[in-house]
Amino acid sequence: MKKYLRLLQILKIAAKYRLQELLEDFNLGTPVSLLFKLPFSSDKKLAKLTRGMRLRLALEELGPIFIKFGQLLSTRRDMLPLDIADELAKLQDQVAPFNGVEAQKIIEQALGDKVTHIFKDFSSAPLASASIAQVHTAKLLSGEEVVIKVVRPGIENIIAQDLALLKLIASFIEKYTKDGKRLRAKEIIKDYDFVIHDELNLQAEGANGTQLRKNFENNNILYVPKIYWDYTRNNILVMERIHGIPISHIDELKKANIDLKKLAETGVEIFFTQVFDHSFFHADMHPGNIFVSREHTDKPQYIALDCAIFGSLSEDDQQYLAKNLLAIFKRDYRKVAELHVECGWVPPDTPVHAFEATMRSVCEPIFEKPLSDISFGALLLELFRTAGRFNMELQPSLVLLQKTLLNVEGLGKELYPDLDLWQTALPFLENWQKKRMSPWENLKKLKGKVPDLLEQLPELPELVYDFLSETRTSRRQTQRLLKEQAKAHLQAQQKQSEKRFHFGLAALLLASLMIFTDLGQFMDSMPLELWLLGFTGIGLLYFRR
């Protein structure tokens, strides 16, 4: 019942901010259109605001899940009207805060002591406020500057209600819409449920940040602040304070003489390094989470915050993704089609030649443009929509990756509009592929497995003996089974021969009667009971086992 009430609340808020005006250009279908025509009133004062402001305020009022949707949209300035993109960008770190006194109580309850006994210069006014948590500044008693991230009180109940509603909508989509099954909406919501609950656990976020810091400890392109574990709990996180430039402050970056072209290309490099070298990638790279160091202006350094949402790929997914991207880069549509079938993204009976032709018809008109004008993320989305003809299913394991790629491209083009993601990514992918095929790399992998092999070495004789014993047993069982099958086959042939013999005998008896007896008199004079008895006898002779 609560989820239906929440749906009504969403529609009421949408009407309040006149959001139906933003949706008039979209063909939503009759059921959805009717929902937006429910008799909810709009606020006349809000009607005077710009459409971007109304959308942002509506998403803020709807809560964290909708705010995160707005954050994703804000990164695609190349796909949104600028007035809307500018307003949605404020969702990244300017969400309405909750009371600082309440935040202080949460911190004291979590750490079991007064804030003044643990920190110096604690600020009750938040430094930044986002959808799930807000941040306050302080100093440790030892003097280090820190920020304290505090989860919003009562946010768990709001998220639970919204997730219940999203699950209901996903079930509706899969059951009643044409493309519902291939979109696998229920599976996506299930994954998002897991992700957002991870985001509520700040200890998990701290662990992600620690791992990311370790992954880039020998690489200056990305810096991750230190986590202070002694002061971190499920609902509060204490980390090193940084003083970088928000990546969305383009004018400030220019004043600091940051090479914006190099900065944009470095962002792409960080993304592909995380995905293909570490298989552990920051999946929430919107501008509110990314800063730039004021140092290293010629070789810009990113600073990653908010490590709540991370993704990873299996080795198979990595290989298939890399091969698909390389094939698209090289316009090898046959290879793209074969890979989609091979990795199970389309059914195994998909006609490869038809799928190849479809890919070519989508890509070739796009590739006629200069590469720097092509949105790679938009191209992938268009390919997915087109591949729906071949029952291509959305891969839940790649949803976070697709979202992150859209973020990275949107961010890069904001920094440097002429960013050519294709040329930046292609050398990386080719080097990665060569590295995978290198004999030395494979020897390193083998070397890494040597300790495990040595540990299992004493068990090798027993394993060999068990294997040989199982092989002999299996061979004997196979021979016995073959003998039994041959015996059964011979018995079946014998029974069939007996059937044919008895049938022939019965036919011979019947023919003799018909020859030596007048057939008409015979049929008229013979009682029905004798006829039935005769045919029953013939039947028994034929079907005798």
Residues labelled catalytic: 284
Which residue from 205, 199, 196, 198 is spatially nearest to 161, judged by alpha carbons? 196
Structure tokens at 414: 């904001």
Cβ contacts of 7 within 8 Å, gap of 6 or more: 165, 168
Cβ contacts of 433 within 8 Å, gap of 6 or more: 322, 323, 326
Structure tokens at 77: 């300035």
Cβ contacts of 138 within 8 Å, gap of 6 or more: 115, 119, 120, 121, 122, 123, 146, 147, 148
Alpha helices in 344-420 (DSSP H): 352-367, 376-387, 396-415
The DSSP line for 414-465 is HH-TT--HHHHHHHHHHHHHHHHH-HHHHHHHHHHHHHHHHHHGGGHHHHHH
DSSP state, residue 218: T
Amino acid at 72: L
What's the CA gap between 273 and 318, in Å, rounded?
12
User: For residue 197, with 0-12 CB atoms within 10 Å meaning exposed, 13-18 middle and 19 or more buried, which class applies?
Assistant: middle
CB 423, CB 278: distance < 8 Å: no
Q: Are strands 290-292 and 245-246 parallel, antiparallel or unpaired?
A: antiparallel
With the C-alpha atoms ordered 91, 94, 100, 103, is the resulting torsion angle positive or negative? positive
